């Protein structure tokens, strides 16, 4: 029964994101395909996460958790081409609010700088916390999306 309810919730979320895509011109498939090229030749595709958001009149922090398996090397690829306004991306070793939280990698993306693909390879395989820090804006209905793709390399260690 719990699985059934979980599937209904996931379907509802997927449907709502599909409706949002009509309003937001973010082509997740194209952004993901661009990132897949960054895995070659050493890494294999593991998964991806597309995050859509609406800018608000306050700073927002969206945190995503990525559990990583030990004895594997991972590569995170981020595509910011769907972001119309500056955004900060930070990787941490612990969740938001935890003591002794260390920043592992950071990027401040500006759409005007022309670069939209960033790569991070953590030194250790453990839980990684990815934060998107979305700045405040007074513009109404300004939306964006981020795509994060993860690849792995078993033979590296």
pTM for the predicted model, two decimal places: 0.78
pLDDT in tens, 86-107: 899 999 999 988 899 999 999 9
- Report yes or no: 138 and 57 within 8 Å, Cβ to Cβ: yes
Distance of alpha carbon 69 from alpha carbon 95, whole angstroms: 18
Give the residue extent of every domain in the chain.
26-156
pLDDT in tens, 96-144: 888 999 999 999 877 666 788 999 999 988 899 999 999 999 988 899 9
Beta-carbon contacts of 18 under 8 Å, excluding residues fewer than 6 positions away, are none
DSSP 8-state code for residue 81: T
Give me the CATH topology for the region 26-156.
Jelly Rolls (2.60.120)
Distance of alpha carbon 29 from alpha carbon 43, whole angstroms: 19
């Amino acid at each position: 029964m719990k699985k059934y309810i979980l599937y209904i919730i996931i379907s509802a979320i997927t449907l709502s994101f599909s409706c949002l895509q009509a309003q937001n011109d973010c082509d997740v498939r194209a952004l993901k395909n661009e990132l897949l090229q960054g895995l070659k030749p050493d890494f294999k595709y593991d998964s991806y996460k597309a995050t859509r958001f609406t800018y608000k009149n306050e700073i927002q922090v969206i945190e995503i958790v990525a559990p990583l398996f030990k004895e594997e090397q991972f590569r995170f690829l981020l595509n910011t081409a769907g972001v119309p306004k500056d955004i900060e991306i930070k990787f941490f070793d612990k969740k938001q609010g935890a003591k002794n939280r260390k920043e592992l990698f950071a990027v401040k993306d500006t759409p005007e700088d022309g670069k939209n693909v960033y790569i991070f390879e953590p030194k250790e395989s453990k839980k990684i916390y990815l934060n998107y820090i979305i700045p405040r804006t007074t513009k109404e209905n300004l939306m964006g999306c981020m795509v994060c793709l993860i690849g792995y390399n078993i033979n590296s260690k």
